Each structure stands twice: as C-alpha cells, then as structure tokens.
C-alpha cells in the first residue's frame, strides 16, 4: 500500500555507499531492525490467526459500511482503485479514533519493498519519524506486503488503540500491533497532510467532518 508517484517514476534512488565504521554500523542497525520486525510480525501473525478468520478481516471490527471510492493516477499512470469503509462514529478530523477499512485494488505491478519504502516516505509528511521506528516499520511492511500485480487487492483494517491488520486477496496476512504506526500509515490517504488531496476527498465523501 502507499501513494506511489516515486515508484511510478522508476523506484527510489539507491543509497550511497558508505565505508568503514559508518557502513558497519548501518549494517548492524539494519540487522537489528530486521530481527525486531521478525519478532513483531511473528507475534502478530500468531495473535491474528487466533483472533480472526483468514478470509474475513471485517469480523474483527463489525459494523463497517461503505464510504467513498477513488482512483490514484499520476501523469496518466493508473496505480490503484481505493475503497473506504467506516463505522458509525467515524469523523474526518479524528479518523484515528475509529475503526475503518481501506482496500487498494492495484492496476499496475509494484514490488513489496517499493511499496514499503514509499509508504514510509508518505508517513513522514505528518511529521518526523524516529530512525529506529522507521527501520522497524519498513522491515515489518516488507515482510508483510507482497509484490503486487494488476488485480491484486490489499485490505488494511484500522483498529484504534491497537494497530493495523491486513489481508491480501481475501486471505489473512498479519497485524502490526502499534497504534502510532496505524495512525500514520492510514494517514497516507486520510490525513490533511496527504500528498493526494483529491483522492482523500473522494474517499471521505459523505463522512462527518
């Protein structure tokens, strides 16, 4: 998932090479982040498997109803169609306080790592993210989100005060148990700081301000 104009331009630029102790420190930091993310996702997957049907993410937050829909296009490139479901207490100004679901139906192919990297870039629009959080969240997303092809669907469920759960093409994928991650992640589409205000407006159409 993610708003992906950078990916459509051909992906993010590779990181510059570093030498000596700086390079070694960066490798160690990345390894620790991957280890932390693996532990986080392992716990989340086990918890999610016990809590919900693999094919019914909506069972975790019943009562959601369809809201708006929209399509992300960038200079003529069609990336995905988006759909939002919200609960009775949902409001635009405090979306992070309510359960809701957002589905992306992809119209182009993207790699999982590109989706994860671009998602972190978009999350930073809402404010700074500590490097250790960014590494952990990006590693978790890369393990959870697959490469996508046209027709693939990723459904994300916001669980207020808990985190975000995901299904891929109707099959349970996992849950990231971090409420701040969930707020920033879904803010890619729903926060006023989004890079795609027209898509936000379309998704939130008819919801209370």
Q: Domain segments of the chain: what residues?
A: 18-203
Position 37 confidence tier, pLDDT thresholds 50, 70, 90:
very low
pLDDT at 166 over 90: yes
Structure confidence at residue 76 (pLDDT): 87
What the block records as the tokens of 208 is 């209370």
Rounded to the nearest integer, the mean pLDDT of the chain is 82
Q: Coil, helix or strand for 172?
A: strand
Structure confidence at residue 58 (pLDDT): 85
101-110 residue pLDDT tens: 999 999 999 9
107 touches 70 (CB < 8 A)? no
Please state which CATH class domain 18-203 belongs to.
Answer: alpha beta
pLDDT at 205 over 50: yes
Which residue in the block uniquely carries the two structure tokens 């949902």? 90
Region 61-75: mean pLDDT is 94
What's the predicted TM-score (pTM) here?
0.76
Contacts of 140 (CB under 8 A, 6+ apart): 37, 40, 41, 176
Structure confidence at residue 120 (pLDDT): 97
Position 89 confidence tier, pLDDT thresholds 50, 70, 90:
very high
């Amino acid at each position: 998932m993610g708003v992906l104009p950078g990916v459509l331009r051909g992906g993010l630029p590779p990181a510059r090479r570093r030498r000596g102790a700086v390079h070694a420190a960066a490798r160690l930091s990345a390894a620790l982040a991957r280890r932390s993310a693996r532990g986080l996702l392992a716990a989340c997957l086990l918890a999610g498997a016990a809590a919900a049907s693999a094919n019914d993410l909506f069972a975790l937050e019943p009562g959601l109803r369809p809201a708006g829909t929209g399509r992300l296009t960038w200079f003529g490139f069609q990336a995905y169609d988006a759909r939002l479901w919200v609960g009775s207490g949902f409001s635009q100004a405090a979306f992070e306080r309510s359960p809701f679901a957002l589905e992306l139906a992809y119209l182009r192919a993207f790699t999982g790592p590109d989706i994860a990297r671009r998602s972190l870039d978009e999350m930073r629009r809402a404010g700074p993210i500590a490097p250790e959080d960014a590494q952990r969240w990006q590693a978790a997303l890369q393990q959870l989100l697959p490469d996508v092809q046209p027709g693939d669907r990723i459904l994300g469920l916001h669980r207020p005060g808990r985190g975000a759960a995901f299904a891929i093409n109707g099959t349970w994928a996992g849950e990231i148990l971090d409420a701040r991650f969930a707020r920033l992640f879904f803010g890619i589409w729903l926060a006023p700081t989004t890079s795609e205000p027209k898509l936000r407006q379309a998704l939130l159409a008819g919801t209370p301000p």
